[in-house]
Amino acid sequence: MTNKDRGILMVLSGPSGVGKGTVCAALRQMDTDLVYSVSATTRSPRAGEVDGVNYFFKTRDQFKQMIAQDELLEYAEYCDNFYGTPREFVERTLDSGRDIILEIEVQGALKVKEKFPEGVFIFLLPPSLDELQSRIVTRGTETEDVIRSRMRIARDELALMEHYDYAIVNDQVEAACRRIQAILTAEHCVKDRMVPTIKQWIEEVH
C-alpha cells in the first residue's frame, strides 16, 4: 500500500470543556467514513455497551500485558481503571485506507505524538478563557474549587499548543467541523504522501 492509500490518524485535543466530544460527534455525522478510535479499558461494561464498539474491555492482567508489549499508543489510570489507545486497531484502520480520529486530553495526545509522529495533531481552542469558564460553569456538575482547578490546568495546556500541527477555535460546532474536514483534505494532498508512488513510477519506466 502506498502512503496516499493509507488513512490518516487525526488527534483532536484541547482543554476540558472546550467541546471535543461535541465536535467529534458532529464530525462523525458529517463524515460517515471517518472511524472513531476505540479505547481499551479495564472497567466493566455498562448496560448497552458492546465490546469492540464502545470499548475493548480487558482484565487488568490483559491490559498490563498490552503495556509490557508496547501495544498502546498511550494509556492512563483513572478511578482505579486503566484506559488506553490500542495501536493495532489504529494501524489496521489506517492500512484499510480509512481515516481515524482520536479524541483525547492534551497529555495523552503528546504521548501519542511520541509513538506516532506521522499523525495530524489538532488543538481545539475556546473563543476565549471567559467563554471556556462559562461552558464549564453551565455544566452545573463542578464545584467552584474544581472550576478554578480546571481553569488553571487549561492555562497550562494552552502553553502546549506549540506541539500541535493546527489550532482551531470552536466558536460554532459546524464551522469547527468544516475546518477539520479542510485540514484532512489538505493532509491527503501533502506531497510526501505521494513520493513513494512517484518513485515507483520512475523505477517502472526504467
pLDDT value at 91 more than 80: yes
Q: pLDDT above 90 covers what percent of the chain?
A: 67
The pLDDT of 98-111, averaged and rounded, is 93
How many Å apart are CA 18 and CA 179, to the nearest integer? 16
The pLDDT of 145-158, averaged and rounded, is 89
Read off the pLDDT band of 136 (50, 70, 90). Answer: confident
Task: Enumerate the domain spans of the chain.
Answer: 1-34+99-206, 38-97
Does 38-97 carry CATH code 3.40.50.10070?
no
pLDDT digits (tens, 9 = 90+) for 53-90: 889 999 999 999 999 999 999 999 877 899 999 999 99
Please tell me the CATH code under which domain 1-34+99-206 is placed: 3.40.50.300
How many Å apart are CA 54 and CA 137, to the nearest integer? 28
pLDDT value at 193 more than 90: no
> Cell numbers at residue 104, please?
483525547
Query: What is the SS3 assignment for 198?
Result: helix
Q: Is beta strand 120-125 parallel, antiparallel or unpaired with respect to 35-36?
A: unpaired
| List of long-range contacts for 85-89, beta carbons under 8 Å, 24+ apart | 85/37, 85/39, 85/40, 85/112, 86/38, 86/39, 86/40, 86/56, 87/115, 87/116, 89/37, 89/38, 89/56
